[in-house]
Structure 1
Amino acid sequence: MLNLTFWLQYIRVFLSILCISLYTYIKSRVFGNRKRVPPLFDRNCKIAVVGGGIGGVSAAYALLRSGYKNVTIYEARDKLGGNAKTHLWQSDRYNITTGLSVLAWPLIFRNYIHLLNELNIPTTMVELPFFIHDKQNNSVFAHGKQSAEYNTDLKRWSRMVNTVRWLTEYLSGKDASLYHFAFLNPFNYIPMRSLSLLFGVSNRFWHHVVVPMYASSFLSTKLSFIPSSILPTIDSLISLQPNQIPTMQTWIQTSIDVFDKMTQGATVKTNHPVTKVRIQRKSNSQIMININEEDVNYERIIFACNADATVKALTSGRTNISSLLKLMLSNVTYGDDDDLNLLDGVIHRDINILPVEYANELRCNYANYIDLKYDSTSQLYYHYNTFILSSWLPNVHAMLQDNRIEHETMEPMLVTYAPNNQPAPKIDQKKIFGKVDNRRAHPSLSFRNQTIALLMRLVQGENGMYFCGNAVTPANGHDLSLISGFAVAELIGAKYPFGENQSALQDFNRFKRMCVN
């Protein structure tokens, strides 16, 4: 009954969004969109950005580069970064800061890579092999290790990915991009799990390999309803083929330098959660935006925070917003709405979390260790996922070399996620240094969320409000949120910052066709 109720509610909201969107579109085409404000040509006007993740910071960066002088970023936490969280590891011999999440990216992140080049941020290529361990059946599936157990499934999976890739290239061109979107592509509407069954992929392979490996990237084990069209992209990031070790780019140091350089010239207010936004429109169409009842008023506001916080701030400020905007923002769902398995990561240095027989190999050579367990009572699979940061991060390797420390003698730098409603892993309390909280961090990769992202174009600029970041984009990704920030800055009046780079510009224009124009 619960599942039926859930799906009836899901479909009702989905249809409501479509109907109100159609009404809004027709009305704006016939009578014009009176709520949408024109671009700002006065570079001295005041613009507020709510949220200091890559989406909000990229919007501020584009505005500043275009000469806007009064850009203020509000960030609820004590530092910028959003999902690109960092941690300071301290010991008697050294202190070093590393990332905790958003650690590397593929070469198809063209805009982000060009940004790093513009900022003179040094990067390097790294390998990120995975290791999945099923203790109950004494089996291992890992990059760099040959296993005949899943040969048939691997061939079927590869055939499935290639089929999706072929049709996507046929409809959108062979130039690899995250931003190819064709409404005629049937794989946009076929869930990944359903397609895998059509191609004969076994349940065992799905639960033992696909979900554990991809959950590390999506921070969610609920992957069944992800649209199949994303398969070629996922496969290019993390291949399931044991002989194809994932290779990506990362910073020589950390993401901190990126956010520091991007916000030069902006006013940054950390530890400033935005709880109340009051927007008034004067008779001469002038916009007056007040945040938290402060003395200053802004003329435009960019929301780059989670959808819940946006709705709450506007409601608390008694700001009138359109039915469509409220309906869409109120129904953006996050991974923690239906999956509590990868919310809290434990930051620690206890090597005993790794199995004794593989500990040395894992601490030196693997980026992820996934302990797979099956509960016969509930008939569910659970994953204890440990990110082994010290095995591959460039600044850790440099620190070891500078201090003449052997890798095998150093306590590893680990982040472990335990499944919900399962016994917590035994970690030495003296070696725990904090937690990672991923609540409201990753919107679900559902059809409804993707539809909301595609329809946000109808409300961008409404009474001086703009929206960017992963809450209003079709998927989670540093490059995607970055471009969304550039796009809303352009709507305000800024110039796209990388117009001289043809490949980056192409991706930007593809994103705009998909989500803005």
Structure 2
Amino acid sequence: MMNILFWLQYIATFLCILLLSIYTYVKSRLFGNSKRVPPLHNRDYKIAIIGGGIGGVSAGYALLRSGYKNITIYEARDTLGGNAKTHVWKHDHISITTGLSVLAWPTIFRNYIHLLNELDLKTTTVELPFFIHNREEDSFFAHRKQFIHTQQYNKDLKRWDRMVKTVRYVTEILCGTEPSLYHFNFLNPFNFISMRFLSLLFGVSNRFWNHIVVPMYASSFLSTKISFIPSSILPTLDSLISLQPNRIPTMLTWLHTSTDVFDKMTKDINIKTNHRINNVHVQRKENNQIMITIDNEKIVYDRIIFACNSHATMNALNNGNNTNISFLLKLMLTSVTYADDDDDLNLLDGIIHRDINILPNEYADDLRCNYANYIDMKYDKINKLYYHYNTFILSCWLPNVHAILKENQIEHKTMEPMFVTYAPHNQPMPKIDEKKIFGKVDNRRAHPSLSFRNQAISLLIRLVQGENGMYFCGNSVTPANGHDLSLLSGFAVAELIGAKYPFSDDLSALRDYNRYKRMCVN
């Protein structure tokens, strides 16, 4: 009964958003949009950005490059970075900083790669092999081990590969042959066919889906609910993390950490960390001047960018002394759901630790030296559910770790490994020595659900961008998580305010930016 009510409410909200969006679009085309403000041509106006993740910081970076000087970023935590969290490990007298969640990216992140070149930050290529351990069957599926325990999946692997090639072929016909995350065409049928449904049409077994597809892709999305992802994303997913055991995922990473990126991007921007926003009051004067005050500060801003999660945005606006927002904007922001809202199996809580006993004895040495992800899969016969415990093995592959060890003449095998282990939200953590636990990672409100409704909101948010001087960027209003995706969302809202796209000299990056704008802005 509860499931029926949930889906009825879900569909009703979806239809309401769709119908309101159509009404808003038609009305704005016929009569204009009086709530949308024009760009700011005066570079002296004040702009506030709520949220110091890559979306908010990229908006500030683009505005700064275009001559806007009065920019302030508010961040609730003590450091910038958003999902790109870091941790400082100790080995004897040595401190080693590593990332915890945002760790690497593919070569098709053209704008992020250009950004790093602009900031003069060095990168390198790394291999990120996966190891899935099925405890119930005492078997494993791993990159580099295509002839061990994987032959049982040969038929499924061939069908999966055929499915990916089919989607890629159709996408290239409709969108061109240049690989991109941002190919979107309403004529592409795979935008409307879910990945799970398509896999069934191609004969991919439930066993392969549950044992291989979900655990491997859940490690990237930190969500086990991937069935409703549009199948048009398959070629991109396959290029990032191939399910073929002989094709090891290869990506780029920093020689140091993401901290350098955020420090350089915000060098000349006013930063207010440890500042959680409680209320935002937006007032429109008779002369159409916008006056925005934050937490009753004396500073009055002319524009505001919300680069935080949608719930934080709505809380601030609801507390803002009756700030007037349209019903469509309110409905959209309150309808965005996150991984922690609707799936108890999602990987939300990570334990930062150095207990090698998290790895099975028979594979421990191989895993700690040669693999980036260890996925421990278990089956609950009572509830008929699969649980995935995902351990990121950071010390195995991060370049700055190996550089520091080499500099100090320390052998990798003599150092305790560096792990982040995620467990399903409703399941206990694996037994970890408390003396070897050094912190936790909380991903609540960090990963929007991969649902059709959220993706529809990301496509329709353009109708309310600029409403009464308010703009929205970051992963709460983008089709999925992704550092490059949030980066572009920040560039896009900065352009709506009056800034120029900062990388127009890089044609491939510019093409991706224009693809993103066609999908989510124009």
The bucket for the TM-score relative to the shorter chain is: over 0.9
Structure-2 separation of matches of 1:78 and 1:339:
29
**Alignment partner, residue 395 of structure 2:** 390
Task: Give the deviation of 1:295 after TM superposition.
Answer: 0.7
Which digits, 9 at most, give the CA deviation of each residue in 1:341-364, with x for residues without a partner?
Answer: 311000000000000011010001
Shift of 1:403: 1.4
In 2, distance between residues paired with 1:315 and 1:106? Answer: 39
Indicate whether 1:72 and 2:75 are aligned. Answer: no
Structure 2 match to 1:373: 378
2:232 counterpart residue number: 229
Residue 223 of structure 1: how far off its partner (Å): 1.0
How far apart, in 2, do the equivalents of 1:456 and 1:378 lie? 38
Equivalent residue number for residue 302 of structure 1: 305
- Identify the range of structure 1 (336-345 vs 303-312) with the bigger mean alpha-carbon deviation: 336-345
Whether contact under 8 Å (2:225, 2:450) holds in the other structure is no
After superposition, give the CA deviation of every residue in 1:101-125 in whole Å (9 maximum; x if it has no partner). 1100000000000000000011000
3-state DSSP of counterpart to 2:152: coil
Deviation at 1:90, TM superposition (A): 1.7
1:150 partner SS: helix
Question: 1:224-247, CA deviations, whole angstroms, 9 ceiling, x for partnerless residues?
Answer: 111111111111100000000000
Q: Return the match for 1:454 from 451, 456, 459.
A: 459
Q: CA deviation at 1:424?
A: 2.2
- Which residue identity lines up with residue 328 of structure 2 in the other structure? L
**Structure 2 match to 1:242:** 245
Identify which of 342, 349, 356 aligns with 1:344. Answer: 349
Give 1:301 shift: 0.2
Aligned-pair CA distance for 1:263: 0.5
CA distance in 2, matches of 1:457, 1:364: 47
**1:358-437 map, 5 Å:** 358-437=363-442
Residue 322 of structure 1 is matched in structure 2 by 326
Kindly indicate whether residue 283 of structure 2 is the aligned counterpart of residue 280 of structure 1.
yes
Q: Distance in 2 between matches of 1:443 and 1:183?
A: 23
Quick one: distance in 2 between partners of 1:359 and 1:399? 23
Contact 2:62 2:502 survives alignment (8 Å): yes
Shift of 1:23: 0.9
- Structure 2: give runs of 5+ residues left out of the alignment: none
Local SS of the residue matching 1:205: helix
Amino acid at match of 1:54: I
Cα distance between partner residues in 2 of 1:156 and 1:424: 35
CA distance in 1, matches of 2:389, 2:36: 48
Q: State the secondary structure of the residue aligned to 2:4.
A: helix
User: What CA deviation, in whole Å up to 9, does each residue of 1:120-173 have, x standing for no partner?
Assistant: 011000000000011221111000002211100000000111111111111111
Amino acid at match of 1:510: R
Determine whether 1:486 maps to 2:491: yes
Q: What is the Cα deviation at residue 420 of structure 1?
A: 3.0
Instruction: Return the letter of the residue paired with 2:68.
Output: Y
Structure 2 residue identity aligned to 1:112? Y
> Tell me, what secondary structure is at the counterpart of 2:49?
strand
Matching residue of 2:180: 177
> Given that residues 348 and 424 in structure 2 are in contact (C-alpha distance below 8 angstroms), is that contact kept between their aligned partners in structure 1?
no
1:469 alignment partner in structure 2: 474
How far apart are the structure 1 equivalents of 2:130 and 2:503?
35
Number of the residue aligned with 1:357: 362
Question: Structure 1 residue runs of 4+, over 4 Å off?
Answer: none
Structure-1 separation of matches of 2:47 and 2:437: 41
Say if 2:314 and 2:334, in contact at 8 Å, map to a contact too: yes
Letter aligned with residue 338 of structure 2? Y
Q: Distance in 1 between matches of 2:428 and 2:476?
A: 32
Give the aligned partner of residue 13 of structure 2: 13
| Equivalent-residue separation in structure 2 for 1:422 and 1:269 (angstroms) | 37
Structure 1 match to 2:214 = 211
Q: Measure the CA separation in 2 of the matches of 1:232 and 1:196.
A: 13
Whole-Å Cα distance in 1 between the matches of residues 503 and 144 of structure 2? 38
| Partner SS for 1:298 | coil
Q: Distance in 1 between matches of 2:111 and 2:229?
A: 25
Amino acid at match of 1:106: P
1:257 to 255, 260, 263: 260
2:189 equivalent to 1:194:
no
Q: What is the deviation of 1:339? A: 1.9
Give the stretch that moved more between structures: 208-217 or 88-97: 88-97
Give 1:423 deviation, angstroms: 3.3
Amino acid aligned to 1:269: K
2:503 maps to 1:498: yes
Contact 2:55 2:307 in 1 (8 A): yes
Q: In the TM superposition, what is the alpha-carbon distance from 1:421 to its structure 2 partner?
A: 2.9
Write out per-residue CA displacement over residues 302-351 of structure 1, whole angstroms, 9 at most, x where no aligned residue: 00000000011001002110000000000011111112331100000000
Greater mean deviation of Cα atoms: 74-83 or 142-151: 142-151
What is the alpha-carbon distance in structure 2 between the residues aligned to residue 390 and residue 339 of structure 1?
A: 30
Structure 1 residue 418: deviation in Å?
1.4
How many residues in Structure 1 have an aligned counterpart in Structure 2? Answer: 517
Q: Which residue of 1 is the match for residue 337 of structure 2? A: 333
Structure 2 Cα separation of the partners of residues 150 and 265 of structure 1: 54
Q: Which amino acid aligns with 2:304?
A: I
Relative to structure 2, which stretch is displaced further, 493-502 or 87-96?
87-96
Give structure 1 stretches of 5+ with no counterpart.
none
Amino acid at match of 1:57: V
Could you give the per-residue CA deviations for residues 448-506 of structure 1, whole angstroms, max 9, x where no partner exists? 11110111110010000001001001111000000010000001000110010000001
Aligned Cα root-mean-square deviation (Å): 0.8
In 2, the alpha carbon distance for the partners of 1:6 and 1:172 equals 36
2:38 maps to: 38
Give the deviation of 1:190 after TM superposition.
1.1
